[in-house]
């Protein structure tokens, strides 16, 4: 009984440890941080222990509170195929929301605003964010650490669509 309980605790905390370690890297960006956090959530959801479910729920709730339109716009600018890999939690806003956010940012950069006005303008763009769902598959033969490294590496790759546009434009 205790062995099972301890192994459940260890297996539940392993994805969290790997995500925290990855988040502490100097090379971490917002895009790769979201990849690490998404990986952690997926791995926790795969487990059947009550601790894993509780951790996943708590992390997801906190990320829902903190995720802003900025991150979705950055993901879209990083890769035009971001919508196909977006999840409900790490969503990419619609084109209209992106345009509105960029316009507000441009306006903000070209005017002198008080800090309160700046926060209000950014808050309006945050409220308009919407997302899509995506599924994720991992290979069970790789360790969790190797799977996380692959996910982070893939998230750093430039978009295939952007490279095609560069070649034709």
Cα 158 to its chain centre, rounded Å, is: 16
Q: What is the pLDDT of residue 120?
A: 58
User: Is 42 part of a structural domain of the chain?
Assistant: yes
Give the range of the structural domain holding residue 151, as residue numbers without chain letter. Answer: 1-67+144-157
pTM: 0.62
Residue 45 lies in a domain: yes
User: Per residue in 93-137, pLDDT tens?
Assistant: 888 988 898 888 888 888 755 556 555 555 554 554 433 333 344
Say if 14 falls within a structural domain.
yes
Instruction: Name the domain count of the chain.
Output: 1
Does residue 74 form part of some domain?
no
- Whether 136 is in a domain gets the answer no
- For 61, the enclosing helix (H) or strand (E) is helix 50-66
């Amino acid at each position: 009984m205790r062995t099972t309980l301890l192994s459940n605790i260890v297996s539940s905390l392993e994805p969290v440890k790997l995500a925290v370690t990855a988040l502490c890297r100097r090379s971490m960006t917002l895009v790769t941080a979201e990849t690490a956090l998404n990986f952690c959530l997926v791995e926790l959801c795969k487990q059947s222990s009550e601790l894993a479910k509780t951790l996943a729920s708590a992390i997801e709730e906190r990320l829902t509170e903190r995720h802003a339109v900025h991150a979705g716009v950055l993901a879209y600018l990083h890769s035009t195929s971001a919508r196909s890999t977006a999840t409900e939690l790490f969503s990419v806003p619609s084109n209209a929301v992106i345009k509105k956010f960029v316009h507000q940012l441009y306006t903000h950069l070209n005017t002198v605003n008080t800090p309160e006005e700046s926060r209000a303008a950014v808050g309006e763009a945050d409220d308009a964010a919407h997302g899509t769902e995506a599924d994720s598959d991992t290979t069970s033969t790789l360790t969790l650490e190797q799977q996380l490294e692959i996910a982070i590496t893939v998230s750093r790759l430039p978009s295939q669509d952007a490279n095609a546009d560069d070649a034709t434009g």
